[in-house]
Amino acid sequence: MPSVLITGCDTGLGRELASQYAQSGFQVVATYRDIANRLPDAAMRHLPLDVTDFAQFAALKRSISDEPIDVLVSNAGIGLDIGALGSLDFDYLRSMLMVNTVGPLKLVETFVDNVAASEQRRIVLVTSRMGSIGSNLSGGHYGYRASKAGLNAIGRSLALDLFKRRITLILLHPGWVNTAGGGVDAPVSVQESVAGMRNVIARLGNHETGQFYTYDGQPLPW
């Protein structure tokens, strides 16, 4: 039975990713910033992980040990920075960089050997089209854009470095999704976004490593 480890399962996309993967027959390790938010599914493994706390990464690694992880999904993230120049919240911006950029890199470093030991050997970094410099025609959102652009750069380098270990890594934009972050006017449901991302992940070839796609498989500019 294939396995998947997903971060940020407290709400939204992470929660739906865990549910859909469980329904499709995967062994799911769901991690939560607050373990009180765990899904009511006794078949999953529910473990704490605040991606800004490296001690929690070490504890999670001890729990997983050397078990293979077929699909490693870095989903945990924060956004909603709407400040303009002169009124920016730099403490929040630092937190955003830690969660959205540093956290995913620490996740990969912690579990890369588990992925390499699996059959599927796939790593997925949930990013955003707002991290695309080529697509930025509206400005603003300095912290969020920077954190996701940084994640994209990290993901591209990881893909090149891990290719020799036969690991396929991609970056996925989930769309404008109807979540707490996306808002009620967002046109894409959580269920549609996750189903699309899972389809992209399932059909991946190793020649696609390091690519930046939408949830329905369309390429995006850097």
DSSP state for residue 177 in the 8-state scheme: B
Q: Which of 131, 178, 179 is nearest to 153 (CA)?
A: 131
Distances in whole angstroms, Cα of residue 13 to Cα of each of 8, 78, 188: 8, 12, 11
Rounded Cα distance between 57 and 70, Å, is: 18
Signed CA dihedral, 118, 120, 193, 213: sign only: positive
The dihedral formed by the CA atoms of 150, 68, 7 and 139, expressed in degrees to the nearest 10: 20
Kindly name the residue from 32, 144, 213, 215 that is annotated as catalytic.
144
Gyration radius of the chain over CA positions: 16
Is 144 one of the annotated active-site residues of the chain? yes
Burial of 4 (0-12, 13-18, 19+ CB in 10 A): buried
Rounded Cα distance between 193 and 174, Å, is: 6
Catalytic residues: 144
